[in-house]
Structure 1
Amino acid sequence: MPFFDGARGRMHYRRWPVENHSAMLVLLPGIGQHTGHYHRFAKSVRAAGIEMWALDTAGHGLSEGDPENPGTLAELVADALRLIEVARTELPRAPLLIMGHSLGAVTALGLLGAAVPDTASAADLGAVEANCPLVPSVEPTALAGLVLSGVPKRALGGGAPGALGTPLPRGLPILAVHGVEDRRAPIDAVRDWTDRHNWVSLVEYDDAGHDLLHEPVHARVAADIAEWMREVVRPAGVARLARR
């Protein structure tokens, strides 16, 4: 089984190979999930010619650690970065896509120095800076695209004028998918965030909650994400899904 040594123990990951791949996707699951939950989604991604790699968060799946304490954002980012490095060693020329769900979406933004909580309510800005990477660990120019699923409000404080962190570049293709009935991460926050980042494509799913890839709408969500990624890595450019 594939493992690497993380700062807090052995980390497990899975790989779904594609012989003639057009890109690779690094998937970061949410809390309470692990890579074994994503075989069905990997099938859709592989059908688009994209090889998927996914990480078991610390304490989840086969990764060592405490499931009640997966780590600070800085530690989660370090683990994700290590998986990207492992994947890059195997596929050095493949365009890189990153996708995160829930906590994984926070981590994906953290990789870009852009997961910054609402500091208006933060009592200790020093703690915010210590736990939230404010500079990119992955240069945006190294990414072909970013997909965010069920991203929580707590990560969306960045982007406002004068906010801490690194602004997301307009040249980076970004897709956000969100359930209209999401109770764990209500959709209003991501709607406000995409209004500030008006080049981000937001696709909303009616009658769907937080875990889009494991709800009745999962096939449509997977197909939408796979098609968006396929268009992003085409040489002709980026095709954006319309709001709906």
Structure 2
Amino acid sequence: MSSFFSWDEPEGLAARGTLIVLAGRGEHGGVYERFGRRLAFDAYRVRALGDATTDPTVPDRAAKLLADESLPGPKVLVGSDTGALYAARLAAEQPAAVAALVLAGLPTTPWASGGWEAEVEARTACPTHQGRLTNDPDFRRGTLGDTSGLPGLRLDRVGVPVLALHGKDDAISPVDQALSAYAGHPAVRTVTFNGGRHDVLNDALHRTVAATVVLFLERLRLSSELPAIAEGLA
């Protein structure tokens, strides 16, 4: 398997920035193909890495991508599930290299799935993504109960804008617990999704989630203060 998965902007368009995705428990970077293609269509380059809980080289490889001058800025770390914790730690360690964070499905407490059917239902309501995970030989099932050895969410050490995305129907990481973890950090902007489950980037509402990320990136390109671009949408 490649050290990372990549999706680039369409030919003839100037790249608008780079997203470096850190996958969650059981996942690999290829799981984010749909997200990567959608963001690349809007001229953002996407590089997706694997699960740092089982591959200790992931943070170092993410740091190398941050330092890669051939990749355009702003450079944004995207972390899903436990990848969110590793992304936040990397942003704290390399503040000059990271322009912003997108944290999705922040893990809170261990979860016992009770079998694959329960796990895949809790991960995503999207039948396409359920099929992708079920038939993916490189996806590891039954990993959501392990939270040992994870870095803490030290957002007090993060000085860049943070977009926090969470599904309101996340049974793996209940939304109230995730929102409590983000509370008190003024740089964090939280967006919750009605009906959303744990793998929010790959859930049934993936189009709305991707659009939310693009709007955040477009505001970031203007300023780290994230000035409003559009107003009045109900």
Q: TM-score, normalised by structure 2?
A: 0.69
Kept in 1: contact 2:66–2:97 (CA 8 A): no
Which residue, out of 45, 53, 58, partners 1:79? 58
Q: Counterparts of 1:89 and 1:198 in 2: how far apart (Å)?
A: 30
- Aligned match of 1:15: 6
Would you say 1:214 and 2:202 are equivalent positions? yes
Q: What does residue range 29-68 of structure 1 map to in structure 2 within 5 Å?
A: 29-57=23-51
Contact 2:32/2:202 (<8 A) preserved: no
Q: Is the 8 A contact 2:29 2:48 kept in 1?
A: yes
Which residue, 104, 127, 132 being the options, matches 1:149? 104
Give the AA of the match of 2:31: H
Shift of 1:181: 1.1
16-25 or 173-182, which moves further after superposition? Answer: 16-25
Q: Are 2:88 and 1:94 aligned?
A: no
Per the alignment, do residues 82 and 36 of structure 1 end up closer, same or farther by CA in structure 2, a change over 3 Å counting?
closer
Shift of residue 46, structure 1, vs aligned partner? 1.5
Secondary structure of the equivalent of 1:196?
coil
Q: Flag structure 2 segments of 5+ consecutive residues without an equivalent.
A: 110-149
What percentage of aligned pairs have identical amino acids?
A: 27
Which amino acid letter does the alignment assign opposite residue 218 of structure 1? H
Q: What is the deviation of 1:200?
A: 0.7
RMSD: 2.9
Q: In the aligned structure 2, how far is the partner of 1:16 from the partner of 1:186?
A: 31
Is residue 190 of structure 1 aligned with residue 184 of structure 2?
A: no
TM-score normalised according to structure 1 size:
0.67
CA drift of 1:57 comes to 2.8
Q: Deviating runs (4+, > 3 A) in structure 1? A: 154-159, 239-242
Letter in 1 for 2:156: P
**CA gap 1:112/1:177 in 2 versus in 1, 3 angstroms:** same
Amino acid at match of 1:53: R
